[in-house]
Structure 1
Amino acid sequence: MQVNWREIPAARNSFAVLGAACEKTGWHLYPVARPAPDITCYSLNSINERLYRDEIADADCITIVGGPHATACWPEVAVYADYVVVGEGEYTLPRLLSEIEAGRDGHIPGVVTRDWYEPAKSSVRLDAYPAFSLVKGYVEISRGCPFACGYCQTPQIFGHCMRHRSIDEIARYANRYGQARFVTPNAFAYGSDGLHPRFDKIGHLLRKLDHEIFFGTFPSEVRPEFICEESLALITDYCTNTKLHFGAQSGSDAILSRLHRGHTIAEAIRAAELCLDTGITPIVDFIVGFPYETDEEQRETVAAIQEVARMGKIHVHRFIPLPGTPLAGTRARSLLSETEKVCGDLALGGKLTGSWNEPEIRFFRRYLK
Structure 2
Amino acid sequence: MIVNWRAIPQANNSLAALSAACESDGYHLQITDEPLDDVTIYSLNSINERLYRDEIAGADCITIAGGPHPSACYREVAEYADYVVVGEGEYTLPALLAAIEEGRDPPPGVATAAGYTPARHTVLLDAHPPFSQIKGFIEITRGCPFSCGYCQTPRLFGRCMRHRSIDEIARYASRYRDIRFVTPNAFAYGSDGVHLRLDRVERLLRSLDGRIYFGTFPGEVRPESVSQQSIDLILDYCANTRLHFGAQSGSNAVLRRLHRGHTVEDVICAVELCRENGLVPIVDFIVGLPFESDDDQRATLDLVRFVTRAGKAHIHYFMPLPGTPLSNEQPRPLLPETEKVLGKLALGGKITGSWMDHEIRFFRRTSHL
Report the TM-score range of the alignment, normalised by the length of the smaller protein: over 0.9
Runs of 4 or more, structure 1, over 6 Å off, are: none
What's the counterpart of residue 317 of structure 1? 316
What's the counterpart of residue 23 of structure 2? 23
| Residues 10 and 363, structure 2, Cα contact 8 Å, conserved in 1 | no
Once the two structures are superposed, the pairs formed by residues 105-120 of structure 1 within 5 Å of their partners are 105-106=105-106, 108-120=107-119
Instruction: Give a deviation string over 1:99-152, Cα, whole Å, max 9, x none.
Output: 00001132x110011112110111100000011001000000000000000000
Shift of 1:191: 0.2
Equivalenced residues, count: 365
For 1:54 and 1:243, the matched residues in 2 are separated by 41
What's the counterpart of residue 35 of structure 1? 35
What's the counterpart of residue 44 of structure 1? 44
2:181 counterpart letter in structure 1: F
Shift of 1:361: 4.7
Instruction: Give a deviation string over 1:259-317, Cα, whole Å, max 9, x none.
Output: 00000001101100000101000000000000111111000000110011101100001
For 1:358 and 1:234, the matched residues in 2 are separated by 36
1:253 equivalent to 2:252? Answer yes
For 2:300 and 2:364, the matched residues in 1 are separated by 27
1:338 equivalent to 2:337? Answer yes
Instruction: Give a deviation string over 1:144-172, Cα, whole Å, max 9, x none.
Output: 00000000000000000000000000000
What's the counterpart of residue 6 of structure 2? 6
What's the counterpart of residue 153 of structure 2? 154
1:210 counterpart letter in structure 2: D
Unaligned runs of 5+ in 1: none
2:218 counterpart letter in structure 1: P
What's the counterpart of residue 133 of structure 2? 134
For 1:205 and 1:138, the matched residues in 2 are separated by 16
Shift of 1:330: 1.1
Q: Secondary structure at the match of 1:135?
A: coil
Shift of 1:358: 2.6
With over 3 angstroms needed to count, the CA separation of the structure-2 counterparts of 1:166 and 1:362, relative to structure 1, is closer
For 2:317 and 2:241, the matched residues in 1 are separated by 27
| Residues 16 and 136, structure 2, Cα contact 8 Å, conserved in 1 | yes
| Residues 353 and 360, structure 2, Cα contact 8 Å, conserved in 1 | no
2:25 counterpart letter in structure 1: T
For 1:116 and 1:229, the matched residues in 2 are separated by 51
Q: Secondary structure at the match of 2:215?
A: coil
For 1:146 and 1:162, the matched residues in 2 are separated by 7
What's the counterpart of residue 87 of structure 1? 87
For 1:322 and 1:166, the matched residues in 2 are separated by 31
For 1:273 and 1:312, the matched residues in 2 are separated by 10
What's the counterpart of residue 175 of structure 1? 174
Unaligned runs of 5+ in 2: none
For 1:85 and 1:287, the matched residues in 2 are separated by 30
Q: Secondary structure at the match of 2:310?
A: coil
Instruction: Give a deviation string over 1:58-96, Cα, whole Å, max 9, x none.
Output: 000000001000110000000000000000000000000
For 1:42 and 1:362, the matched residues in 2 are separated by 20
For 1:365 and 1:17, the matched residues in 2 are separated by 18
For 1:329 and 1:135, the matched residues in 2 are separated by 37
For 1:308 and 1:188, the matched residues in 2 are separated by 21
Shift of 1:362: 4.9
For 1:275 and 1:123, the matched residues in 2 are separated by 36
What's the counterpart of residue 218 of structure 1? 217
Instruction: Give a deviation string over 1:159-194, Cα, whole Å, max 9, x none.
Output: 000000000000000111101100000000000000
1:196 counterpart letter in structure 2: H
Q: Secondary structure at the match of 2:345?
A: helix
1:264 equivalent to 2:263? Answer yes
Instruction: Give a deviation string over 1:27-82, Cα, whole Å, max 9, x none.
Output: 10000000000000010011110000000000000000010001100000000000
Identity percentage of aligned residues: 66
1:347 counterpart letter in structure 2: A
With over 3 angstroms needed to count, the CA separation of the structure-2 counterparts of 1:174 and 1:66, relative to structure 1, is same
In the superposition, the TM-score normalised over structure 2's length comes to 0.97
Higher RCO (CA-CA < 8 Å; seq separation 6+)? 2
Shift of 1:17: 0.1
1:67 equivalent to 2:72? Answer no
